[in-house]
Chain A
């Protein structure tokens, strides 16, 4: 399959990359893993006159973390997350990375690419949304952060301004008493766009007896990955038990806005949203509890 002709630049730093994107205007596209851009160019879904290869931007490949916040560089791959995010305590993110595409795709697909492609079923998008992440954007005007709840505007649409790049995803660090998990349902077990996915995060109260706060994000049941306000309310301040999880899962499903499509019906998606939310919350809670016990 052939691609249209384009010029190619490989900047060696972020400022140079931003300059090239601004110069190139709407026809300049950043290239990270290429698993979306190159596919779209081959299928004629996108046009491009200048490809700006970000591979030289080593600063975007770094995971920087402190006790409070973790900054995951936009060029970190799904494969890296699958292997290493668990060591950062972000097991849900490791699961999301492992669920994306195939081994070959995971070795190229990036956090920044997944966020910018902004599909409602985006695996990393949905998990990062549940983790309360913000997109760190670099642009001609400087750096800014946009919470992912505001970042996704519609299928394939984001809050990015022309000339901006996602440089990182910033999120609260993992810790004892915090847990996360990702569940993905598809028609096949790999190389699949989610029929429904559920990403859960929660944090126990300091004495471990209850849930301080929690989030459930659902993929593929709305125009963007959806953060369930109902689930968050059903978790905050409640007992850390099965009954709470069941109620939160039900609330999450109620917030879903699925449609019928060739993968499945809206009705089935809504039912599965509840099942997956319950599974994800159950595992997130188990992680939070065991982390706390390990610390005690």
Chain B
């Protein structure tokens, strides 16, 4: 099968990749680019552990062909921290005990990021709806929701100050 030469823009950086068309964005991120934050859970778009942002919108990267992501801005969990400084959502997850095994965490955080960029003060129900495509087998979700709520307040606060 002929390989395609594509340019992916991941966390603001360009990557030239040569890949067969039948490989997903999840596979290319993990296997070609070493960005293993996005996980492969179910492989069919049910669990959300492969969630990345495509032009800011959460998608299951296991259901996007790598070649489809050409020219689009891809954000992975690796793109959130600013050097050693965690993103407020990451910080909140740590502080609120929202991480156990960590497998769902990158997807959860990216879905939460997309939510908070759209809505500054989502209520509980809205947070849960925004995370409804991300499954967690460890935490029972409560701490995750509290972390997102706390992060929302921090992010709203920063905006007012800045």
Once bound together, how far apart are the Cα atoms of A60 and B65, in whole Å?
20
- Is B22 within 8 A of A5, CB to CB? yes
Let me know if A107 and B59 touch, CB within 8 A.
yes
Q: Which residues of chain A are within 8 angstroms of B130 by Cβ–Cβ distance?
A: 103
In the assembled complex, B142 has its CB within 8 A of some CB on chain A: no
CB within 8 A of A1: which of B44, B48, B54?
A: B44
Cβ-based interface call for B133 (8 A)? yes
Q: Is the CB of A190 within 8 A of B1?
A: no
- Whether A71 sits at the interface, judged by CB under 8 Å, is no
A107 near B132 with CB under 8 A, answer no
**In the complex, are the beta carbons of B60 and A104 less than 8 A apart?**
yes
CB of A102 within 8 A of CB of B1, answer no
Give residues 112-148 of A contacting B (CB, 8 Å). Answer: none
Chain B, Cβ-Cβ closest to A39: B44
Given A3-B22, A105-B45: A190 and B63 within 8 A (CB)? no
Q: Assess whether A6 is interfacial by the CB under 8 Å rule.
A: yes
Whether A153 is near chain B, meaning CB under 8 Å from some CB there, is no
What A residues does B51 contact at CB under 8 A? 104
Please indicate the chain B residues that have their CB under 8 angstroms from the CB of A190 in the complex.
129, 132-133
| Cβ–Cβ < 8 Å partners of B132 in chain A | 102-103, 189-191
Q: Would A7 and B21 count as touching, CB distance under 8 A? A: yes
Measured between beta carbons, the chain A residues less than 8 angstroms from B64 are 34, 108
Is there an interface contact between B133 and A35, defined as CB atoms closer than 8 Å?
no
Docked complex: A25-80 residues within 8 A CB-CB of B: 31, 33-35, 38-39, 41-43, 51, 53, 55, 79
Q: How far is the CB of A197 from chain B (nearest CB, A)?
A: 17
Partner of B62 from the list A1, A55, A101, A189 (CB cut-off 8 Å) is A1
In contact, B63 and A5 (Cβ under 8 angstroms): no
When distances are taken between beta carbons in the complex, the residues of chain A under 8 Å from B62 are 1
Q: Is the interface of B mostly helix, strand, loop or mixed?
A: mixed
Within 8 A of A (CB), among B44-75: 44-46, 48, 51, 54, 57-60, 62-65, 67-68
Q: Which residues does chain A contribute within 8 Å of B68, judged by CB atoms?
A: 31, 34, 53, 55
**Distance A8 CA – B66 CA, assembled complex (angstroms):** 11
Q: In the complex, are the beta carbons of B43 and A1 less than 8 A apart?
A: yes
Which B residues between 1 and 50 are near A, CB-CB below 8 angstroms?
1-2, 4, 20-22, 24, 40, 43-46, 48
Enumerate chain A interface residues (CB-CB to B < 8 A): 1-8, 10, 31, 33-35, 38-39, 41-43, 51, 53, 55, 79, 101-105, 107-108, 189-191
Chosen A-B contacts, 12 in total, with CB atoms closer than 8 Å, are A4-B22, A7-B1, A8-B21, A8-B22, A53-B65, A103-B111, A104-B59, A104-B111, A104-B133, A107-B57, A108-B59, A108-B60
Q: Which residues of B contact A (CB under 8 A)?
A: 1-2, 4, 20-22, 24, 40, 43-46, 48, 51, 54, 57-60, 62-65, 67-68, 111, 114, 129-130, 132-133
Please give 7 more A-B residue pairs, beta carbons under 8 A apart, in addition to A8-B22, A101-B133. Answer: A1-B44, A2-B22, A34-B65, A39-B63, A53-B67, A102-B132, A105-B60
